[in-house]
Structure formats: C-alpha cells, structure tokens
Amino acid sequence: MTAPREQFGSRLGFILAAAGSAVGIGNLVGFPVNAAKNGGGAFLLMYAIFVFVICLPVMMAELATGRHSAKGPLGAYASLTHGNRMWGIAGWLSTVTPFMIAVFYTVITVWLFEYLFSAVTGDLDVLADPATFGAFINNGNIFIHLAIVVAIVNLILVGGVKEGIERSAKILMPALFMMLIGMVIFVLTRDNAMTGLKFYLIPDFSKITGPVVSGALGQAFFSLSLGMGILITYGSYMDKRSSITSSAKMVALADTGVAFCAGLMILPAIFSFNPETDPTQLSDSSVSLIFTFLPKIFLALQTSIGYMGASVVASVFFLLVFFAALTSLVSIIEVPAASLVDQKGYSRKKALLILNIGMVVFTIACTASFGMVGWLTEFVHYAGSPKSLFDVVYDIFYDTILPLNGLLICLFVIYRWKKSNLNEELETGDDGFKGSFLERYMNFSLGTFIPLILALIFINTVAIKFF
C-alpha cells in the first residue's frame, strides 16, 4: 500500500508557501521599475485589476485541478483525462517548463548569493564597480556558490511538504515581510524620499499604451507563479476542508502587497540616496537593477549613515531578495519532483537526486554561457542576433511557454474536465461558492476571454521573440 499523500499542515502554512512561491525577484525589483516607468499609480491600478480579473481565476483553476487529482501536473492531466495523449502533452509542458525555469532562476539566485556574501564580508566599493558583475559571473567561485545554493534548496525539499516546504516558508516569509517593512520605513524617512514616492505613485494615464498593458498582464501572470505547474502541485497538497477561493485571494493579496511595498522601498531609495539620479537611467531589466544599479545607490548611502550602516542596509536587501528567490526555487523544483514521485513511484530522495543532477548540469552550462564558454555564449542565432544558452532558456520557457500553459489549463478545466467538476471542487470546503458571482464569473471568463488573451500574448511573443 502506498503512503497517503502528504498535505500542508494548516491553511496559513499553505498560504505562506504559495506566497513564498509567488513573491520573487519579479515582485521585488521587476514590479517597482515597471510601475515607475510606465505610469506609476496608473500601472499599479491596472496591475491590481489584472491580478483579480484574469489571474485569480487561473490560479483557482490550477489549485482545483491539483487538489481534485491529488497529483502534480503530469499525473493530473493524465488521470483527469484517463490518459488522453494530447492532454498528456499539456502535462509534460507543465513539468518540463518548471524544470527549465528552475535552471535559469538558479543562475540568478547564485549571483544573489555572491552579492549577499560580498555585502556581508566585503567592500561596497567593489560591489558598486560596474566591472564587478562581469567579473563575478565569470569567476570559478561561482560553482562553489552554486553547490551551496543547491544544498540549501535540497535541504528544504528533502524534508517534504510539511516539514520542509511549509516549515521553511513559515520562517522565511515572515522574515522577508519584516525586512521589507523595515527597509520601507528606513527609506521613507530619508531626505528626498518624497521625490521617488511621487515618481512611483502619481498616476500618469498618458503612459498607458498597448505594450504597457500587455506588460502589466505578463508581470501579474508571472508574479503569481501561474503556468508553471506550481499551483497544481501545491493544490495537490491542500486539504479538502480549506477554501480554495479564500486561500487564493490571500495569496494574490500578499503577492500584490509585497510588489507594492517593494516599490515603496526601491524608488524612494534611488532618489533619496542619490538625488542626481536620472530616472531614464533605469533599465527595464530586474537583473541590471539588482546587480549594477542598486549597489551604486548603497555606496552613495555611506555619506549619510557611514560605511557600516550602508553595509548593513545592502546586506539586508540582498538577504531579502535571496529569501524570496529561495522560496520560489523550492516551489518550482517541487513540480517535476512530485511528477517523478507520482508517475514513476520514486522515493522523494531519488526523485530529487535525479532532478538535481540534470539541473546542475544545465545550470553550469547556462552559467558558462555568459562568456566562459564560447559556443554556449553564442549558442544559436535568431531574431537578428546571437543568443546564449541562458537567453534561449529564458525566451522559450519563461516568455513563451508560460502563457501557453495558462491557456491550456483554462481550456482544460472548462472544456475537458468540465465546469461542473471544477465547480464541485471549488465548492468543497467553501459553502459560499455555490451560486456566487465568482462561480459564474469563473465559468464564463475561463472559457472565453481569458484563454483568448493568453493566446494573443503567446502568438505575439512568438512573433516578436523569434522572427
């Protein structure tokens, strides 16, 4: 007899673990910069509308599919369609995608760890030097740091759902919230913080163009960890007495709240610590903001609070982002791990060992594609320029397949699994769902405009990225 499926121990544990997955580098740095550059309060408003109007139904669909099947995506699509081959492909896509996203996210998490290590032990002048990032990512030490990050993530995962994922989320997430609030208070009480606050929050509706709208939707979709199989997998560990609706709303609120607070931390910091800052210098990329722009800001902070103070602030910042990245990484590796356990009957340890071997090989190759190894750096050529292996993984899996996976789950719950089954699962543990506005809204939106919008994003991304 097989052991019963492990479950989260409490509703709060589930919410923290799912929020841990959702809160990542995207929220902490991607959102504030996008918001500030694309209409401030107007972007925020649009983002919040997308979270609740488009993303929440997809999130609930993923959770319901997972909880009903009690399987990760591979097993969920297979068991709910009695082994249909075409839907089996959707299951595979939702299993391979998180594996590959885990690879590129690990590369960035290792860089974060390097910066955290240097902020704690080293010299802010070095971190702020523009040459440092290039030197760091091409230094052999990176492989030692990779081993440490992989070890931490696996230490959490090997403990299982309750003792590993839930317990770590219960420590890391409150720590993250506290550090974030502390940083926000610190930043907002600095001179000149108001300039940044205005830059972030004053609505400028003239900036809202077509690409900004689709960018806001993309940001909301990725920020909630949709299309990665994560919520199907976490749903499979949810108990039947919990309400999917209220848990999903809490996760969406926590994720949006963190993104908003990250804006309150980053934008005023940029203006206050370095009043000369020209906002047009901000790049769209989260990566360049964390690793090249912010270290300069921390260095400038030395003049007002001294060297030690500035080092502490820089260390807290990198620790905060590192924790956010860790809980996201844990959730995404759990997806292929659950599939190996469910479908192949492997023990958790064996599944993790196999996945880690594959992941480390790919991560080393992606890390080396930033210049260390020539053919990996110029791996293929498309859209008019050579692309590294890292670019290829990012373009294919993060940018392109995620909306496709989102589209497939919508079509699946409405047209294959059927509305009645979806509704029944959502009513379980939630007396108020039956006959509610939300139920009618879910049934309509998931079968019509949400998949249509996701299909348009998918087609548009393919056209822009690859042709």
**Which residues in this chain contact ligand PFF in the complex, by CB under 6 A?**
21-22, 24-27, 101-102, 105, 222-223, 225, 328-329, 331-332
Nearer to ligand PFF, 105 or 298 (CB): 105
Burial of 33 (0-12, 13-18, 19+ CB in 10 A): buried
Nearer to ligand PFF, 148 or 202 (CB): 148
Q: Report how far residue 382's alpha carbon sits from residue 393's, in angstroms, rounded to the nearest whole number.
A: 13
CA-nearest of 325, 332, 403, 281 to 28 is 325
- C-alpha distances out from residue 99 to 77, 102, 357, 359, Å: 18, 5, 12, 7
- Tokens 């299982």 locate to 160
Closest distance of CB 105 from ligand PFF, Å = 4
Residue nearest to ligand PFF (CB): 24
- Tokens 């709060």 locate to 12
Q: Residue 396 corresponds to which tokens in the numbers above?
A: 């294919």
Nearer to ligand PFF, 95 or 331 (CB): 331
Per DSSP, 155 falls in state H
Closest distance of CB 203 from ligand PFF, Å = 23
Closest distance of CB 357 from ligand PFF, Å = 19
Quick one: how far is CA 208 from the chain centroid?
24
Nearer to ligand PFF, 236 or 277 (CB): 236
Nearer to ligand PFF, 128 or 172 (CB): 172
Closest distance of CB 113 from ligand PFF, Å = 15
Q: Report how far residue 38's alpha carbon sits from residue 280's, in angstroms, rounded to the nearest whole number.
A: 11
Closest distance of CB 93 from ligand PFF, Å = 16
Q: Residue 43 corresponds to which tokens in the numbers above?
A: 């972007």
| Partners of 385 in beta bridges | 382
| Partners of 381 in beta bridges | 386
Find the length of the chain.
467
Q: Which helix (H) or strand (E) holds 227?
A: none
Closest distance of CB 226 from ligand PFF, Å = 9
Closest distance of CB 329 from ligand PFF, Å = 5
Other C-beta atoms lying within 10 Å of the C-beta of residue 144: 11
Q: Report how far residue 146's alpha carbon sits from residue 365's, in angstroms, rounded to the nearest whole number.
A: 12
Nearer to ligand PFF, 109 or 132 (CB): 109
Closest distance of CB 18 from ligand PFF, Å = 10
Closest distance of CB 100 from ligand PFF, Å = 10
CA-nearest of 202, 322, 200, 176 to 270 is 200
Nearer to ligand PFF, 21 or 369 (CB): 21
Nearer to ligand PFF, 31 or 433 (CB): 31
Closest distance of CB 111 from ligand PFF, Å = 14
Q: Report how far residue 221's alpha carbon sits from residue 59's, in angstroms, rounded to the nearest whole number.
A: 9
Nearer to ligand PFF, 218 or 429 (CB): 218
Nearer to ligand PFF, 99 or 133 (CB): 99
Q: Residue 174 corresponds to which tokens in the numbers above?
A: 């409150």
Q: Report how far residue 361's alpha carbon sits from residue 438's, in angstroms, rounded to the nearest whole number.
A: 45
Main-chain phi, psi angles of 208, to 5 degrees: -80, 100
Q: Report how far residue 259's alpha carbon sits from residue 33's, in angstroms, rounded to the nearest whole number.
A: 10
